[in-house]
Structure 1
Amino acid sequence: MVKQATLQSNTVQAFEDAKFELENCDVQNHNLVKASASRVQFEEVVDNAEFVVPGCICLNLEDLKCFESVEHQYEHWGVIFHNTLAIQPSNPAFPTLSGSTVLMSLSKGGFLEANFLQPVNCVSAFVTSSQRLVLSAYDRDRQLLAQTILPGANLANSDSAVPPNTLLSIKAPDIYSVSFCAFDGQFTLDNFRFCI
């Protein structure tokens, strides 16, 4: 069973009690689109007369090249990344959840940011980290809305009580950006998802 850590508003759920429930992001009540980095695939979907604006978007990272800097590849889906790199982990301590490609911080500072072109109300990703990781959500004026915390390292083949690829999600109205910070640690993100 996968564990999830969630913090909404100014309250903290007990990490051990949280359940793997994507309905925290209203996924079951919206259309879910697996978003490709390829602009061609996006144009084909838009040209389809049955296209419905998705409620939730899950990024397909498999179109990215290993060691590719990720910034504007998903801009047509409404998100721009900063300080982000696509990798195919060779270190078994950082397993992928699905596919072979994940996102990680470009620098040793352990900081990755996603900015949304339109406000969203929920963001989630499966994370594996070498130490404590904080997911923070901000409004249009960069005021902190909420935070979710992975309390410690969750590397594979370690003695951590938290398994690798643990779901972190954050929910608040009018999220314009989120940041993942591992305070000089390393971490990976898989199945990055946001809901409008």
Structure 2
Amino acid sequence: MVKQATLQFNKVPTVGDAKFALGNCNMQDKVTTSAWRGPVKQAVETTNAAEPTCIYLNLEDLKCFEAVERQYEHWGVIFHNSIAIQPSNSAFPTHSGLTVLMGAPKSGFLEATFLRPVNWVSAFVTSSQRLVLSAYDRDRQLLAQAVLPGANLANTDSAIPPNTLLSVTANNIYSVTFCAFDGQFTLDDFNFCF
């Protein structure tokens, strides 16, 4: 069983930090959010602006086959080419809960744009083939990439387990893309840190 990342507020996380190893991923001091559309003023005011703040998206309030775009805008992220699904294909298991995100209507691609720059983005991914997570700055210049080298579908002979954690770290990330060229993939437990 994979745990989530432990994140301390006194520094921005890096991929190389041992605490982000797949076996040691217990995230604390995070904001867990659903797709509700209420005010977030209290949550924002209770965090210290000088300290990194991490947002963990709880996808469970999304309806199956709901197009996901601005549901999390008040938390600082807008999705493009994304739908919520509850996978019926056992090759695409969820990491937690029942709901995941999938690139659609254009298969094999999903983008997240941040309303203010972030420094770390992660998600658990299951893909039918090689998947690339790319981070970009305000001018769409590539900042960092993480690669799932091949398919990691459940119930296959893949050496990579399903729901593999991919993350990117860089200053001033304004958007990320997930791309599995002509493939299918799911994302679960989408996280980002300011």
- TM normalised by structure 2 equals 0.84
Q: Take 2:41 and 2:158, find their aligned partners in 1: how far apart are those partners?
A: 44
Task: Tell me the number of residue pairs that the alignment of Structure 1 and Structure 2 aligns.
Answer: 176
Instruction: Detail structure 1 runs of 4+ shifted over 2 Å in the superposition.
Output: 45-54
* CA drift at 1:107: 2.8
Cross-structure match for 1:46? 41
Q: CA shift at 1:48, angstroms?
A: 6.9
Distance 1:67 1:193, change over 3 A: same
Q: Structure 1: which 5+ residue stretches go unaligned?
A: 4-11
* Structure 2: distance between partners of 1:175 and 1:50: 23
Measure the CA separation in 1 of the matches of 2:191 and 2:35.
Answer: 14
Instruction: Summarize the Cα distance change of 1:171–1:49 in structure 2 as closer, same or farther, 3 Å threshold.
Output: closer
Superposition map of 1:18-167 within 5 A: 19-20=21-22, 21-22=24-25, 31-40=29-38, 43=39, 46-47=41-42, 51-52=46-47, 55-167=53-165
- Larger helix share, 1 or 2: 1
CA–CA distance in structure 2, aligned partners of residues 91 and 168 of structure 1: 22
Which residue is 2:7 aligned to?
Answer: none
Give the CA RMSD over aligned residues.
2.3
Structure 1 vs Structure 2: percent identity of aligned residues?
72
Structure 1-normalised TM-score? 0.83
1:75-96 deviation per Cα after TM superposition (whole angstroms, max 9, x unaligned): 0000000000000000000000
CA contact (8 A) 1:129 1:182 kept: yes
- Residue 39 of structure 1 deviates from its aligned partner by 1.3
User: Structure 1's 49 and 126: CA in aligned 2 closer, same or farther, altered over 3 A?
Assistant: closer
Could you report, residue by residue, the CA deviation over 1:89-125 in whole angstroms, capped at 9, with x for unpaired residues?
A: 0000000011000000013430000000000000000
Structure 2 stretches lacking a partner, 5+ long: 4-14
